[in-house]
Amino acid sequence: MKKTSFLLLITAFCCLQKPIFAQIQTGENVAVTSTESGKVRGYIHNAIYTYKGIPYAEAKRFMSPEKPKPWTGVRSSMVYGPVAPLIDPTTSVQDESEFVFHHDWGFTNEDCMRLNVWTPNINDGKKRPVMFWIHGGGFTAGSSQELPSYDGESLAKKGDVVVVSINHRLNILGYLDLSAYGEKYKQSANLSILDMKAALEWVKANIENFGGDPNNVTIFGQSGGGAKVNTLMAMPSAKGLFHKAINQSGSFRTAMLEKTDTQLIASEVLKALDLQPSQIDDIQKIPFEKLSAAGKKALKLVADKMKAEGKPVIGFGLSWGPSRDGEVLPYQLFSNEAFEMSKNIPLLIGTTKNEFTPFAGMATFNSTQEQVMEILKKKYNSKTDAYLEAVKKAYPTHTKPSDLLDIDFSFRPGAVLQANQKSALSGGAATYMYLFSWQSPVLDGKFKAVHCMELPFVFNNIARCEEMTGGGKEAYVLADKMSQSWINFAKTGNPNHKDLPKWEAYNSTKGTTMFFDNTCEVRYNHDAGLLEFGR
């Protein structure tokens, strides 16, 4: 037989053989399981069953979520569902930062109540811990697919856990308070939070069919997602739907607007739309872009009015978000009543060292010591030496001149305040504090431990996020340690494991904080003096 003919025969034979270890498995009867609304079909990748875009609720505009309509047959659930409409759609990006973050903007639709599930198995009778991810983007933007780090496959595989992530209503669609205009709109001020509760109810009713334990659910989120975690902890009707909580860089908003404020915003929205109260139902038909523009105008008018009256404007500026409506959210987030409600929920909380400061400090990244000192002396005057001493005590190994400038004072103080209050509750569950100080080498190191930098490590997704982490050996080692802490916390309420120093529960006296870095270490009240400069 000629050599060419022999090779063709071998090739044909190989093509006829089914691969023993297929990387991805798809098909009509692959990864099929049931939900209350009907059967769904996903796919299996890297031995993880994956489902995307499953409806967990539905709702008319400005109305409370209801269970989705049932479907017949098997619903294909293999791609992400729609994303909530955004008040500021992305039309351009900065090249370097977009390279680092690598967003996936998705497609928008007001019918956006969808969730995704990653699980090691659906048919083995096991009840795995459920890790319920809530995306960032404040209360106005973001989605469950926005960042590559959000993919739950690696975390599910590493920890033998079920990962769930959700999309929900945002901005004006999730928080416009129309309660003054009719019973059907009575909960409209906090619809976004009600969507999250509806997703948790879906988990309670369905997650056993995905190999999960409805009685061991950890809610976790970063930035706006962390703030949403706080909000759910202050929501009486969500009690019992989750059992542990993780807040990553999400304690920036410690108070909410009151009903008088949110109803005033709604009144200004109606004026901007030229609608009378008797025409309120017409608001459901107004194009989103027009609605959003009216919302922006109303927020500015009310913010100016509040400032003129000497009232504090909450957060970084008046924007859409949850409010104390007296029903869905009866208490302020950091009130004694809210903390008492969640006292039995173990909490893991922390921030990154730099958060948003690298963006502000790009121009000073390569500044000399003399140039940095000139900036500091203008800012702190006679207190400059005290500031330098506090920085040296807090971060002794960070010696680049710009390290003196780009320390976060926006997110860390709120996290410390929350940890102090939560850990002080008599007989309450443990609180654990962390600080992510690992410095990314990407683009000469200018992004440092920027906001979101910990996400690839939490999800064990270094390979998916090389643009952010550099993909080096040190990143993989730290991701193994950090993701294991999140997994252990989800399983037991305790993040300790053999590859970390002993991590004690937090209290305000010791200020115990786990530093996640190339060398992980526990430190005590490391920045107590430094935080005074951020007040």
Return the pLDDT at 72.
97
Poorest-pLDDT segment among 14-18, 120-124, 218-222, 240-244? 14-18
For 475-522, how does the pLDDT look when each residue is reduced to its tens digit (9 = 90+)?
999 999 999 999 999 999 999 999 999 999 999 999 999 999 999 999
**What span, in angstroms and rounded, lies between the C-alpha atoms of 172 and 87?**
8
**What span, in angstroms and rounded, lies between the C-alpha atoms of 344 and 231?**
16
Q: Is the pLDDT of residue 316 over 70?
A: no
Catalytic residue among 64, 355, 437, 440: 355
Residue span(s) of the chain under CATH 3.40.50.1820 come to 33-169+191-248, 349-534
Do 323 and 406 contact (CB within 8 A), yes or no? no
251 part of the active site: no
**What is the percent of the chain where pLDDT is above 90?**
90
Do 47 and 76 contact (CB within 8 A), yes or no? no
Dihedrals phi, psi of 188, to nearest 5 degrees: -65, -20
- What's the fold here for domain 33-169+191-248? Rossmann fold (3.40.50)
Q: Helix, strand, coil: what percent of the chain each, to 5?
A: 40, 15, 40
pTM of the predicted model, to two decimals?
Answer: 0.94
Q: Is the pLDDT of residue 13 over 90?
A: no
Return the pLDDT at 362.
73
Do 48 and 156 contact (CB within 8 A), yes or no? yes
Do 163 and 118 contact (CB within 8 A), yes or no? yes
**Superfamily of the domain at 349-534:** Alpha/Beta hydrolase fold, catalytic domain (3.40.50.1820)
CA 462 to chain centre: 18
Task: Please report which confidence band the pLDDT of residue 2 belongs to, taking 50, 70 and 90 as the band edges.
Answer: low
**What span, in angstroms and rounded, lies between the C-alpha atoms of 18 and 248?**
44
Quote the mean pLDDT of the chain. 94
Return the pLDDT at 313.
82
Catalytic residue among 77, 154, 223, 423: 223
451 part of the active site: yes
CA 289 to chain centre: 26
Catalytic residue among 135, 243, 398, 451: 451
Return the pLDDT at 16.
43
**What span, in angstroms and rounded, lies between the C-alpha atoms of 238 and 223?**
20
What is the torsion angle, in degrees rounded to the nearest 10, for the CA atoms of residue 315, residue 318, residue 322 and residue 325?
A: 120
135 part of the active site: no
Dihedrals phi, psi of 57, to nearest 5 degrees: -165, 170
**What span, in angstroms and rounded, lies between the C-alpha atoms of 301 and 318?**
10
Task: Please report which confidence band the pLDDT of residue 79 belongs to, taking 50, 70 and 90 as the band edges.
Answer: very high
Average pLDDT over residues 99-127: 96
